[in-house]
A and B are shown apart, each in its own frame.
Chain A
Amino acid sequence: MILIGRNLKIKIARVELDMTQKALAEAVGISRQTMNAIEQGDYNPTIRLCRAICKVLGKTLDELFGEED
């Protein structure tokens, strides 16, 4: 399991690019419902989806999904 609790890093990275949840969801080919669940920490995405999100947001896996110290 990579995500524990809410994933604010995705939200911050998304807002920095001025993207809505819907826009990010469309960019990675998922529903807004799923994107929201990922940000809320209600769904743990597969590594494939994590990489797709990182690619769109221009971040590394560690930056977005790495564990907090």
Chain B
Amino acid sequence: MMRKTSKNNLDEMQDSRLLKIEETGLWLAFWGLTAAMLIQFVIGTTLKEIAGEAAVLVILSVYIAFTTVKNGLWTRSWSPTKRTNMLCSFVPAAILGGIHGVRRFLILGEPFSFKPLWGILIVMAAVYALCFALLELLRVLYRKRRDQLEETGDERE
């Protein structure tokens, strides 16, 4: 007989369905929060004013990154390669650069010149470098952990 513990009133199918719902909810919250922060940044909200949302997003990201690496997991669809990390780092750099540009030239009405454009490019380069460094660090840790997990068990001898 399958025992239901006091901590879980659901059977295995109900539990797996609830996990799926929770997973969808988590990603909705994650991307919703990201989109809300980006929109607020475009309309002129200061970083101080969105510090709460930023903190939640950072905690969520650190938790996901830490627990997946700890369990020797990477994403379902992307392979852990330097090339993928380079491509993935370009996305946030382009989005933040674009938002920075929209804010400066369209919202704040700064006249178009090369000086602020350089500033935007520096922001993009910094975001790209930071994302790439973080992803590479995670990739190295993931490989180490995966190899460690692969070596444990009966076939170690």
Contacts and interface: CB of A to CB of B under 8 A. Distances in A.
Nearest to B10: A31
Interface stretch (A6-14, A15-23, A44-52, A58-66): A44-52
A11 B113 CA distance: 75
B12 interface: yes
Contacts, number: 33
The interface size bin for chain B is: under 10
The interface size bin for chain A is: 10 to 19
A29 B13 contact: no
A43 B11 CA distance: 12
A45 B1 CA distance: 14
Interface string A25-58: 0011111011001100001011011001000100
Nearest to B13: A34
What secondary structure prevails in chain B residues at the interface with A?
loop
B2 interface: yes
What secondary structure prevails in chain A residues at the interface with B?
helix
B3 interface: yes
A56 B1 CA distance: 8
A29 B14 contact: no
Contacts of A28: 1-2
B114 to A, nearest CB: 60
A30 B110 CA distance: 65
B2 A52 contact: yes
A28 B13 CA distance: 13
Interface string B1-27: 111100000011110000000000000
Contacts of A48: 2
A55 to B, nearest CB: 8
Contact of A45 (B3, B4, B12, B14): B12
Contacts of B3: 29
Interface of A: 27-31, 33-34, 37-38, 43, 45-46, 48-49, 52, 56
Instruction: Please name the 3 residue pairs, one residue from A and one from B, whose CB atoms are nearest each other, closest first.
Output: A29-B2, A30-B11, A34-B13
